[in-house]
Structure 1
Amino acid sequence: MVAEGSVDAERDAILRALAPVVDGLAATFGPVCEAVLHDYRTPEKSVVAVAGSVTGRAVGGAMSEIGMRVLARGDEAADELNYLTRTRDGTLVKSSTMVLRDSTGAVFGALCVNVDVTAVERVHSLLGALAGRDGHPADLPTTTFGNDIDSVVDALVDTHRHKSWAELDRAERLALFRDLDARGVFAVRRAIEQVAARLGISRASAYHYLAQARAATDPTIPSGGQA
């Protein structure tokens, strides 16, 4: 068995080695590129190195819901390459998220590259219009990038809630908690309290619905337990 302190030291060394890569990527591709290095051991301030300003984050900033999704998958997470999303201000971004593993195979972070392709899309649309073709891209998901993890959690709750809590039936409430759990929200410290406040329910109720949602997914979990 590898000692925990030894694994942490190895992870720290990997992150230190990749820090210059972050600067090199951003310098190579210029102002339209941003490279971000994440340490998932601290989800609330996972950004340990950043170069470029596509998403406006800084060292000590939080992961996005993309990072939460990777975190939720644990060691089963895989690289996600060349996917498109939009920031909340409408910027079209092409991204790649490459997971970092230690020598035991455990996922502990990620190296992310974000490229602002809005300008490229404008040229594409113009050429499409000149050629008589529709140049508008298909609908893309909106991703919240921020230095504050609370804003990311709030955005995820709001995105997946189309009615007030009182208007949701039990199945819809369970589906909401199941979806938030699958997206890694509850891996973040204090997220259960924040979700409860956002929904206007008690902390105990939030724990109850989370436990019920997990029990419905995994029958080995007692339905009356708490997360």
Structure 2
Amino acid sequence: MTEGADAILSALRPVVDGIAATFGPTCEVVLHDYRLGERSVVAVAGSVTGRAVGGALSEIGLAVLAQGDAAGNDLNYVSRTADGRIVKSSTMPLRDGDGRVFGALCVNVDVTALRQAGDLLAALAGVLPPQAPATTFTNDFEDVVDALVRAEELARGRPAAGLGRGERIALLRALDERGVFRVRNAVPRVADRLGVSRSAVYADLAECRREAQQ
């Protein structure tokens, strides 16, 4: 259903511009084609996350890939950019005529000013506001891989390059569950980050998947 997917993307391109223009400079709309792998951004209007055509999908996009065709709309969630801005987003998976997820339409709104005002009121009331989770919005998928590996290193209290094989398999399982290896060319990037060969990552990944099926 490649032609059907391409037609849907073509129909949505003017919608991307229209939504961003309607909501103004604090709004960004991003259109993803996951068939393109790590450089999934095919259209963008607005500049909330600084991505451009050819940019990478984030951890949020990886979550859609991890869910596969069962992925549903994820609406009005809040995340935090690397520079501390607060973004309210909605991610809507796109399906071809056979029901297969092949992309997503994402709307991001910078609500930093609103959140700061809310935090001030919360502080006056003696209530500690919740911290929004960090999300890696970037044009380079390697930055996303690095952020996910860093999170696993922090959880384990050890650098990834110093992990034994059992610990490395557990780390790869965590990355696999996050959808990392559904992206083409992810294995070389992860191998570089872990300081091991690609063949070692392929072997360890196969092992952790066998363990999951037992």
TM-score normalized with structure 2 length: 0.92
| Contact 2:161–2:195 (Cα < 8 Å) also in 1 | no
2: distance between equivalents of 1:123 and 1:210? 46
Asked which structure has the greater RCO (Cα within 8 Å, sep 6+), the reply is: 2
Q: 1:158/1:28 Cα in 2 relative to 1: closer, same or farther (>3 Å)?
A: same
* Deviation per residue, 1:90-149 (Å, 9 max, x gap): 11111110001111111111000111111001111223344x333x43133211111111
Tell whether 2:146 aligns with 1:133: no
2: distance between equivalents of 1:212 and 1:73? 21
**Equivalent position of 1:208 in the other structure:** 203
Runs of 4+ in structure 1 displaced over 4 angstroms?
none
Look up the equivalent residue of 2:136 and give its one-letter code. Answer: T
Residue 190 of structure 1: CA displacement? 2.1
Look up the equivalent residue of 2:137 and give its one-letter code. Answer: F
1: distance between equivalents of 2:160 and 2:126? 43
Which segments of 5 or more consecutive residues in structure 1 lack a partner in the other structure? 1-6, 220-227
Secondary structure (helix, strand or coil) at the match of 2:97 reads coil
| Contact 2:89–2:106 (Cα < 8 Å) also in 1 | yes
2: distance between equivalents of 1:27 and 1:190? 35
Residue 67 of structure 1: CA displacement? 0.6
Residue 205 of structure 1: CA displacement? 1.9
**Equivalent position of 1:146 in the other structure:** 138
| Contact 2:89–2:108 (Cα < 8 Å) also in 1 | yes
Larger Rg: 1
2: distance between equivalents of 1:207 and 1:173? 12
Q: 1:30/1:73 Cα in 2 relative to 1: closer, same or farther (>3 Å)?
A: same
1: distance between equivalents of 2:130 and 2:26? 21
Residue 173 of structure 1: CA displacement? 2.2
**Equivalent position of 1:187 in the other structure:** 182
Look up the equivalent residue of 2:142 and give its one-letter code. Answer: D
State which of 91, 111, 116 in structure 2 corresponds to 1:117.
111
1: distance between equivalents of 2:72 and 2:62? 13
Residue 65 of structure 1: CA displacement? 1.5
Look up the equivalent residue of 1:133 and give its one-letter code. Answer: G
2: distance between equivalents of 1:183 and 1:172? 17
2: distance between equivalents of 1:166 and 1:191? 17
Tell whether 2:48 aligns with 1:54: yes
Counterpart mapping for 1:1-227 below 5 A: 7-130=1-124, 132-134=125-127, 136-162=128-154, 163-165=158-160, 167-219=162-214
| Contact 2:66–2:179 (Cα < 8 Å) also in 1 | yes
* Deviation per residue, 1:138-182 (Å, 9 max, x gap): 133211111111222222222222312465355432221111011
Q: 1:155/1:165 Cα in 2 relative to 1: closer, same or farther (>3 Å)?
A: closer
| Contact 2:149–2:160 (Cα < 8 Å) also in 1 | no
RMSD: 1.6
Look up the equivalent residue of 2:114 and give its one-letter code. Answer: V
1: distance between equivalents of 2:32 and 2:134? 20
Residue 57 of structure 1: CA displacement? 0.5
Identity rate, percent: 61
